[in-house]
Amino acid sequence: MKQIITNFNNAPKKIAHILWGGVLAGTLTILAILLLLNLLGAGLGISAYGEINDPFVSVGTTIWLFLTNIIAVFTGGLLAARTAGLTFYMDGALQGFLAWALYIILSSAFYISIMGNDVSALLNIGFPDHSFLLFWVLLFGAMAGICGGIVGAILLLNRHKKEKLNESPDVDIK
């Protein structure tokens, strides 16, 4: 019987790597960008409209919150992938998704601790169908985190390829 020996030392690594430092950096970036953009939106909204009861303010606020969530989660996913030092672009998608998931867990725990047991007050934003809106915000937020992670990983891998091409061999020129 013939014995077959397989060498896996040169095989490409396809196992997903989770680097929690990158995930934490992405999550903190998401929270910081959301805080800044929401403060900007509140300042613009208060200066533009004296009354909060205007129906346009409710729709405008909803659109603003949706867009700021997408921007912040995309940027956080991109940063999570860039700081992870990845070897495969789908690892970036995982990093971006985990940054989004950690952001959702932390912000939900924060809101629930503020609201206490009154979860209905948490969803009482002023939009007719809150659960439907929340579903779409969460879905697009997850997709933005995944896309940001993929873009960040692609940028990182392209930078590594350029650095390898620019490396000069160790040759002494006299």
Three state DSSP letters for 51-86: CCCCHHHHHHHHHHHHHHHHHHHHHHHHHHHHCCCC
Residue 85: which region, alpha, beta or left (left: phi > 0; alpha: psi -120 to 50)? left
List all residues 6 or more positions away from 122 whose beta carbon is below 8 Å from its beta carbon. Answer: 111, 112, 115
11: tokens are: 């095989």
Q: Which pLDDT score, from 0 to 100, does residue 50 have?
A: 61
What integer is the mean pLDDT of 136-151?
Answer: 88
Among candidate residues 143, 39, 36, 155, the one with its CA nearest the CA of residue 96: 143
Predicted local distance difference test score (pLDDT) of residue 16: 58
Give yes or no for residue 29 having a pLDDT over 70.
yes
- Distance from chain centroid for Cα 6: 39
Cα distance between residue 153 and residue 149, in whole Å: 6
Rounded to two decimals, what is the model's pTM? 0.73
Q: What is the pLDDT of residues 66-111, one digit of tens each?
A: 899 999 999 999 999 888 877 677 888 889 999 999 999 988 888 7
Give the pLDDT score at 70.
Answer: 92
Question: Read out DSSP for 78-120?
Answer: HHHHHTTT-SSHHHHHHHHHHHHHHHHHHHHHHHHHHHTT-HH
